Amino acid sequence: MINKKSLWFLTLFSLILVLSVYYITMPSEMLLTTNADYNEDTEKTEEEKTEKEDTTEVEESEIVVALRVEADEETQKEMDTLKETLTNDEATADEKNNAFEKLKALNANKAEEEKLEKAILEKFKFKSFVKIDGDQITVVVASDDHNVELANNIMRAIQENYDTRMYITVKFNTKE
């Protein structure tokens, strides 16, 4: 009589066997389609290639992307440190509670930053980077237009989300 363990083993083994055979036979088919694509690409003229390159558009400023990546890496490092504290057996209950509270605050802060970035994009049609540090908010806007009125409108729109006074800084960066 076959028990459940043997049945599962046979099922998984046959699935692995079928997938192995599929993947072993697959590369020959992939080579044919890759060669056809390569032949089509080599037949294109230089004019078509430059046309394709000219239509490429950059949607976000490089500085905004760089700031976002840097902030995400910094936040991730801090979260990893806090998670280590939470999983450490030698940490006291107070240390674990503090780490948990800081982790919740980081997540809430990150969500608030994303919400403000989305609001700026919807209301003003500009890509931006928002960094919240306590009661200070720094906004970097990807725009060639360095308009004081626009900066004031962005600051007012952000301040509407808070009951307490926030210190908001708006910086403009060119899209190039």
Q: What type of residue sits at position 149?
A: E
Question: Quick check: is 44 in a domain?
Answer: no
Asked whether residue 14 falls in the same domain as residue 79, the answer is: no
When pLDDT is averaged across residues 108-120 and rounded to a whole number, the result is 90
DSSP string, 101-120: HHHHHHHHHHHHHHHHHHHH
Asked whether residue 114 falls in the same domain as residue 68, the answer is: yes
Asked whether residue 11 falls in the same domain as residue 69, the answer is: no
Q: Which range marks the domain in which residue 22 is found?
A: 1-36
Q: Is the pLDDT of residue 3 over 50?
A: yes
The residue with greater pLDDT, 17 or 60, is: 17
For residue 41, the model assigns a pLDDT of 52
Find where tokens 């590369």 sit. Answer: 27
Asked whether residue 91 falls in the same domain as residue 15, the answer is: no
Question: Quick check: is 42 in a domain?
Answer: no
Asked whether residue 29 falls in the same domain as residue 109, the answer is: no
Q: Is the pLDDT of residue 117 over 70?
A: yes
Domain count, the chain: 2
For residue 51, the model assigns a pLDDT of 52
Burial 114-152 (b: 16+ CB within 10 A, else e): eebbebbeeeeebbbbbbbeeeebebbbbbeeeeeebbe
Asked whether residue 5 falls in the same domain as residue 68, the answer is: no
Q: What is the pLDDT of residues 16-42, one digit of tens each?
A: 888 887 777 765 555 555 555 555 555
When pLDDT is averaged across residues 136-140 and rounded to a whole number, the result is 91
Strand order of the sheet with strand 167-173?
A: 128-133, 136-142, 167-173
CATH number of the domain encompassing residue 138: 1.10.287.4300
The residue with greater pLDDT, 146 or 7, is: 7
Residue 1: pLDDT band with limits 50, 70, 90: low
For residue 141, the model assigns a pLDDT of 87
Asked whether residue 107 falls in the same domain as residue 167, the answer is: yes
Query: Percentage of the chain with pLDDT > 90?
Result: 12
Asked whether residue 25 falls in the same domain as residue 107, the answer is: no
Q: What is the pLDDT of residues 122-137, one digit of tens each?
A: 988 888 889 998 889 9
Asked whether residue 22 falls in the same domain as residue 66, the answer is: no
Question: Quick check: is 19 in a domain?
Answer: yes
Question: Quick check: is 55 in a domain?
Answer: no
Question: Quick check: is 94 in a domain?
Answer: yes
For residue 36, the model assigns a pLDDT of 53
Question: Quick check: is 52 in a domain?
Answer: no
Q: Is the pLDDT of residue 55 over 50?
A: no
Are the CB atoms for 136 and 158 separated by under 8 Å?
no
Q: How far apart are CA 87 and CA 82, in angstroms?
A: 9
For residue 131, the model assigns a pLDDT of 92
Return the biggest CA–CA distance within the chain. Answer: 82
